[in-house]
Structure 1
């Protein structure tokens, strides 16, 4: 009621001023102009107020009709929601937006573009903010879950892109980003056990082909390295020729042609990196994590240069100065710091031995060989 009175007074005042100006222009002035303006402003006020109320009623009717349609589409009663103040209630806002998003996904999947557009228009009319980029991203995420993008899904993404007004450049950028994140997460799960099985290797190949993305050389190498670990852990070991004299029934399975034997010297230093750690003591564990070779007083210095041979019985270093041989069942554990290219062997007695290969080495394969041979000797 107060609103009607306020609108009525406003319309009367505006009518009074407007009529007064017209009368002045045609030569009617003074008290006569004032009285005539006051009298004529009354019917003008009724007319303008009625027109305003009529427009408000029509707007309210359209709003109620939109609410009714939205309720039917999202299967949620929104008839009593004040959309002007809806977003003050965060929970209510997210609930409605989530329902709208779900319906948009559903229409896109069914390729029902008329209803898709209708829901977008309804959302706009009711003031429901729809993040078009977020909608497009979520649609991509749904489509790539099975590891491939079908022709129908490609057509759907193109249509949604056009309807939402997303540029080709932005669409390609979004697709590349989402697919890269998806494959990275899948690879992270596969790499957790430091091994790639034939089934996992086939799955990775299917992902890259189905989603039309190429892995970088570093990732491809890691896959091959971890696949070689699987082969080493699950297939018969094949001995390799060895230039040194071995014991009876002893065979060589890994060789590093050139490596340094290093020892700690007095200085402050710290070596670290992401590596592999295999512990042997009442059982064997396969572990990956961040490790560090640290000493508050020492620094690694080269003591000797030679070759490393891993046999089914021993870890052997044949240096220029002397030969060091450690029985596999006397190794407590070993750490490989791939980033620094360092191998640390911990024995039952004496300080740990540290070796730095001077030739290219597949550290994953080395770890698998040594781990398997130690396990068979434990």
Structure 2
């Protein structure tokens, strides 16, 4: 609660005047900056509504200047300081409204400047109140009325209020979505809550956020729901089912040394790939391979028993129980075998999904 005192000492602080220089004393002149200091001290020592216009005239005559012309920014600051003080409780009493009206006349501030100051000061207050209102993800009818009244109290332009509302609601949803997807998974319950909050706040996630959330929902489904069974023409073992298929897959292996004989050798020195952390919502980091050779190109099949690669040169299968890890990259997956070379399989797309499916199959096996 604001103190009820007869002066504005709680808003403006008394300041000492600048001393006259030797020449100013001889010529009976005053430091020009003392004009603003005197006005500050008048505001600090008197109730706003009790300050007469003649006080401004007295200061201007004493210093032989126009406060409006020479100290316009200082006058705007005086008004902004009191406006910010008056709005500390997000409301304006009749006394404060009267003070602001008198202060505007006293400082000779044009309407355009007043509107600008209200927008500048009020925007921060309106944003702060809006952020407090939506902390529970819901804006009740009472809260909507409060925000509407606050917009009027602050004399906030409607387009600015709408912009603040849009930004605050969007930022709140984005933070919540990031919090829910911290483990790179969105459960059905989290999806329901996000949909409800999106509806309550009247916003829709942008396309980038929607794609990310859809991806994390898919991860959860692939790890917890029944995997789809794909019918393929490839002969499979008894009780073996295919759950993933991709074409145009390139099989690479890392080589310690190699002799380059022609441009068709397919050896790549210091190839860098972007690794994806499938356990957390975190940026990818880069992993460098020393020397890679493309072995073959073909189709990739993930079954509940094997990884099968049908290449142009030959067909290769890797039993799931011989795999120690699967590393996901944006460009493909690396199969970390318990023994032997670790193939790097580059895919046209959905490498992260392939890695999630492969890890689940290995875990189940």
**TM-score between the two structures when normalised by the length of structure 2:** 0.62
Partner of 2:61: none
Number of residue equivalences: 266
Shift of 1:349: 1.9
Partner of 1:103: 89
SS in structure 2 opposite 1:276?
coil
Is 1:313 matched up with 2:301? no
**TM-superposition CA deviations, 1:88-137 (whole Å, max 9, x none):** xxxxxxxxx99987733xx6xxxxx647966996xx99xxx994222111
Compared CA separation, residues 119 and 211, structure 1 to 2 (3 A) = farther
Is 1:333 matched up with 2:319? no
Partner of 2:149: 159
Contact kept? 2:275, 2:287, Cα under 8 Å: no
SS in structure 2 opposite 1:334?
strand
Compared CA separation, residues 203 and 100, structure 1 to 2 (3 A) = farther
Contact kept? 2:230, 2:244, Cα under 8 Å: yes
- Mapped partners of 2:141, 2:168: distance in 1: 18
Taking only aligned residues, the RMSD between alpha carbons, in angstroms, comes to: 3.6
Contact kept? 1:291, 1:337, Cα under 8 Å: no
2:287 corresponds, among 285, 289, 293, to 293
- Mapped partners of 1:235, 1:99: distance in 2: 57
- Mapped partners of 1:147, 1:58: distance in 2: 43
Shift of 1:321: 0.8
Is 1:224 matched up with 2:218? no
Partner of 2:232: 242
Whichever structure has more helix as a proportion of its residues is 1
- Mapped partners of 1:100, 1:238: distance in 2: 64
Could you tell me which runs of 5 or more consecutive residues in structure 2 were left unpaired when the two chains were aligned.
1-15, 17-40, 51-82, 105-117, 255-265
- Mapped partners of 1:345, 1:275: distance in 2: 14
- Mapped partners of 2:251, 2:347: distance in 1: 9
- Mapped partners of 2:144, 2:251: distance in 1: 57
**TM-superposition CA deviations, 1:131-176 (whole Å, max 9, x none):** 4222111111011112132333333223222322322232222222
Is 1:346 matched up with 2:347? no
Matching of residues 21-60 of structure 1 within 5 Å: 60=45
Compared CA separation, residues 115 and 356, structure 1 to 2 (3 A) = farther
**TM-score between the two structures when normalised by the length of structure 1:** 0.60
Detail structure 1 runs of 4+ shifted over 6 Å in the superposition.
Answer: 56-59, 97-102
Compared CA separation, residues 211 and 115, structure 1 to 2 (3 A) = farther
Partner of 1:373: 361
Partner of 1:215: 205
- Mapped partners of 2:342, 2:232: distance in 1: 25
Matching of residues 270-285 of structure 1 within 5 Å: 270-273=271-274, 275-277=276-278
